[in-house]
Amino acid sequence: MKVMIVPLIVMSAVAGGLSKEPNEAQMRGAFEQALAMQVRNALDFAAESGGPQAVDEIKKNGTHRFEVRTFDKRACTRTIGQHSFRCDFAVDIDVVNGSLQGALTGRFFIGSQGLMFAQEEPGVAQTAMTGVP
């Protein structure tokens, strides 16, 4: 009987996914993690296509840096058939040449690194980011 309990616990943990709606701090962390990954991917691409000089130029200009100034959770709904939540939020991101402000919609789910964020494709959700110099 003890042998059966461990597989049941593991299966329920995997199947359960995100059982409780994420709070604002968790969402912000997942969103920042996703942005940081996009920046790393852009730097990797710059290194592959333009060499180390391209990466040095990006870093010299500071265009790889960002700071999420404000993050405001609006609403979340559980996705049907998936273990995730579709959430709306407003964000203000400080970048080297000003700030980006807007309302976004994305999916928050449990992944290999904890809570993760995936932005919905344009056309699926209304996405508006505006730059304010």
Domain range summary for the chain, segments of one domain joined by +: 22-132
Interatomic CA distance for residues 105 and 77, integer angstroms: 11
Class of domain 22-132: alpha beta
pLDDT of residue 131: 53
Which of 9 and 18 is assigned the larger pLDDT? Answer: 18
pLDDT of residue 17: 54
pLDDT exceeds cutoff 60 at 1: no
Position 131: which residue type? G
Report the first-to-last Cα separation within the chain, whole angstroms: 65
pLDDT of residue 12: 38
pLDDT of residue 72: 97
Where are the extended beta strands (E) located within 54-111?
66-78, 84-95, 98-111
Percent of the chain at pLDDT > 90 equals 60
Q: Which residues of 26-48 are buried (b: 16+ CB within 10 A; e: fewer)?
A: bbbbbbbbbbeeeeeeeeeebee
pLDDT of residue 107: 94
- Structure tokens of 109? 């789910």
- Which whole number is the average pLDDT over 45-63? 91
Long-range contacts of the stretch 86-91 (C-beta < 8 A, 24+): 86/120, 87/22, 87/27, 89/24, 89/27, 89/31, 91/31
- Which whole number is the average pLDDT over 92-108? 93
Percent of the chain at pLDDT > 70 equals 77
Confidence of residue 6 (pLDDT cuts 50, 70, 90): very low
